[in-house]
Structure 1
Amino acid sequence: MCKRYLLLEDGSVFEGYAFGGELNNPDGEVVFNTGMTGYQETISDPSYHGQIVTMTYPLIGNYGINRDDFESIQPAIQGLVVKEWAEYPSNFRNEMTLDELLKLKGIPGIHGVDTRQLTRLIRQFGTMKGRLLDSLDQKEDELNSLRDIQLPTDQVKKVSTSKPYVAPGRGHRIVLIDYGMKHGILREFTRRNCHVTVVPHDMSAEEIMQLQPDGVMLSNGPGDPKNVSEGIEVVRELLGKTPIFGICLGHQLIALACHADTVKMKFGHRGVNHPVKDLRTNEVWMTSQNHGYAVERSSLENTDLIMTQYAINDDTVEGLEHELYNAFSVQYHPESSPGPQDSNSLFDQFISRIQSEKDKGGFSCQSEKTLIKS
């Protein structure tokens, strides 16, 4: 086995062994995911673009890789860090090993790392830049270079579709803005027989409305939401014209469009076991999450947004609803890929909101706002 190293910008070095792809582009933000399962969905989640993902569960790859559980065609992670990977997986759905997938997609991996120590370091000091190396001969030069690099800020552009495409259906017409969409979102709408048009992240509000949507879905995606300035403006223009549902990055864009604020978290929420409480029903849902930014709770005070859900672990904002317009959002992933299905009914709520608008016979949200204010 060949040695491989993870170098962090604070000078920490984690030694392990190489597996997966070669070191073509080994830099990224080092984060951790606490899921015991769902590693295939995690690796293929576009929201991890540009990140080196550490799996805290010690054994990864034990049930192999199958063709059904991908969340994107081309994974976007920079590297994978594990304690132990299963060379010989055992599962009736298994079609290839984790190592074979990483080699196929050109993703470098490192195993044999003390992932508990690495996770504790990130929890204490926050996420930081990291670089995978096959040698420490030039450690000081590599460290100085790592500290000087600027991580990309155009992640959404790199993972969004470049052209619109359609998933045909006979039901409601949904425009899904792709900021780094997981396939699970599209699957939930096709299960409900919706006619879905997936559009690029930079499509204008005018072009979107020309598609005559019954509702607009804002997908998940990577990076700082403030870097998606065109998305903020599009959401602002769409509010009041059509029902809107936002997930993860889409949730943050709704907040910014309504003049709330977002902040970078110390180490984010990444896992399948995050409890969220609904303020309206007092229910607690277990949710799947992957985000490094959050809506600033105090910034909601002077907006038309109300917090509907919050994270039990740290009180961060997990759900929003607009007081005047037909728009709502959640910070987590109700499509549940990977993770629990407690919140899957949110897609049904969105469909109900769309049907309610149709039942009004064209009574627009803008007209409703005018009546409320008068």
Structure 2
Amino acid sequence: MNDRSNLDRKLILENGAAFYGKGFGCTDDRIVEIVFNTSPVGYQEILSDPSYTDQGVVMAYPLIGNYGMADDDYECETPTIGALIVREYNGEPSNFRSKEPLEDVMKRYGIVGISEVDTRRLIRHIRDHGSCKGLITSANTPAEAAEKAIKEATLPHDAVSRVSRNRFQKYDSAEHFYHVVAIDCGMKMNIVRSLTHRGCDVMVVPWNTSSVDILSLDPDGIFLSNGPGDPEDVPEVIDAVKGLIGTVPIFGICLGHQILSLAYGAKTYKLKFGHRGGNHPVKNLLTNRIEITSQNHSYAVDSESLKNTPLTATHINLLDDTIEGVMCADDRAFGVQYHPESAPGPQDSSYLFDQFIDWMKEGKDNA
């Protein structure tokens, strides 16, 4: 990487570290939070996951773009990821399902890209120093000007309000067994698919819908979605969940798990560099089974804070012992930090949707 003659872009981190590459996709200057993902597949789902709003994702797998973009694999209608940072970009995909190259999608939605980056060195840097702000800019931008821009920039705290639907939206199943109201904080579409596949009609409501309005829809269960940012940035959702606890079964994933925990009085904190990938081992404390999970989060639930709540820990991450699942059986409420809908990722944890279904069935049978 010593020859920079063909490298027209660079990524500068807030501590001054610089990584040179070639621009692709949108070529605007962009300040983002730099994080990394270790998944070897699934760049389309990552690109379109609303949880990556305002983040620049470094892909650990070295080849990105080789299988193009398929219409059926998007996780949202309008991708909001800030940037994609890769070692090698392939703009000539070979895949019968592909409708267009990755770069075309990035240009359409204003997603900045930089390739030919030494991603191994960059990821080691993030692991050593933690997630941080970074500026993707021209290779000719003076270091002093770039560092000044990064220092003065403030990462936004309104990501959930920007990615959530602003209206009610219904998704019907074939069987119509159960009626689920899902609070959209940036929900992935595979969550909707996972619920409708199990006979649930899903009414997705905006992030700031009140508990009164949610209960007026007469749900059999309530789902709390994934989404971007700090869970403490959405006190409106936390307050709504407080008003929903104990009414019908509640299931939260990722940000929804954190929000559920905060509603019960637990605390959350930011991880050094987060968990993002498709092979994180999690132990189910109720069964002692190990699950390989898909993960994407910067925050975690504080284990000590659970002692002062009705929640019990149900899952832990075997890499760092962080909390991966909580439950209050009396209230039929539970959440997991990882992604059982797994797009992309393994299917080890799909049983959690069945647990949600079982609790809704019990509630209907006892009504």
TM-score, normalised relative to structure 2: 0.96
SS in 2 for 1:161: coil
SS in 1 for 2:71: coil
The runs of 5 or more residues in structure 1 that have no matched partner are 362-374
* Partner residue of 2:9 out of 4, 16, 24: 4
Q: CA deviation at 1:86?
A: 1.2
* Partner residue of 2:27 out of 13, 22, 30: 22
Amino acid at match of 2:192: L
In 2, Cα distance between equivalents of 1:190 and 1:2: 47
Closer/same/farther in 2, CA of residues 137 and 243 from structure 1, 3 Å limit: closer
Q: Cα deviation per residue 1:195-252 (whole Å; 9 max; x = unaligned)?
A: 1110000000000000000000000000000111011111111001111000000000
Q: CA deviation at 1:269?
A: 0.3
Match of 1:254 in 2: 260
SS in 2 for 1:324: helix
Q: Cα deviation per residue 1:299-339 (whole Å; 9 max; x = unaligned)?
A: 11111000001001100000100142110110001111110
In 2, Cα distance between equivalents of 1:136 and 1:258: 51
In 1, Cα distance between equivalents of 2:182 and 2:141: 48
Amino acid at match of 1:51: Q
Q: CA deviation at 1:87?
A: 2.2
The runs of 5 or more residues in structure 2 that have no matched partner are 1-5
Match of 2:3 in 1: none
In 2, Cα distance between equivalents of 1:91 and 1:195: 33
In 1, Cα distance between equivalents of 2:224 and 2:110: 29
Q: CA deviation at 1:21?
A: 1.2
1:328 paired with 2:334, answer yes
- Is the 2:16–2:143 Cα contact (8 Å) retained in structure 1? no
Match of 1:352 in 2: 358
SS in 1 for 2:297: strand
SS in 1 for 2:330: coil
* Partner residue of 2:50 out of 46, 53, 65: 46
Q: CA RMSD in A?
A: 1.1
In 2, Cα distance between equivalents of 1:238 and 1:104: 39
* Partner residue of 1:55 out of 56, 59, 70: 59
Q: CA deviation at 1:2?
A: 6.0
Closer/same/farther in 2, CA of residues 8 and 299 from structure 1, 3 Å limit: same
Amino acid at match of 1:5: K
In 1, Cα distance between equivalents of 2:266 and 2:141: 48
SS in 1 for 2:136: strand
1:177 paired with 2:203, answer no
Aligned residue pairs total 360
In 2, Cα distance between equivalents of 1:221 and 1:233: 17
TM-score, normalised relative to structure 1: 0.94
Match of 2:109 in 1: 105
SS in 2 for 1:184: helix
In 2, Cα distance between equivalents of 1:62 and 1:148: 37
- Is the 1:245–1:329 Cα contact (8 Å) retained in structure 2? yes
Q: CA deviation at 1:96?
A: 1.3
Match of 2:127 in 1: 123
Q: Stretches of 4+ moved more than 2 A in 1?
A: 135-139
Match of 2:155 in 1: 151
Match of 1:37 in 2: 41
Match of 1:299 in 2: 305
- Is the 2:68–2:101 Cα contact (8 Å) retained in structure 1? yes
**How many percent identity over aligned positions?**
49
In 2, Cα distance between equivalents of 1:323 and 1:348: 15
- Is the 1:173–1:215 Cα contact (8 Å) retained in structure 2? yes
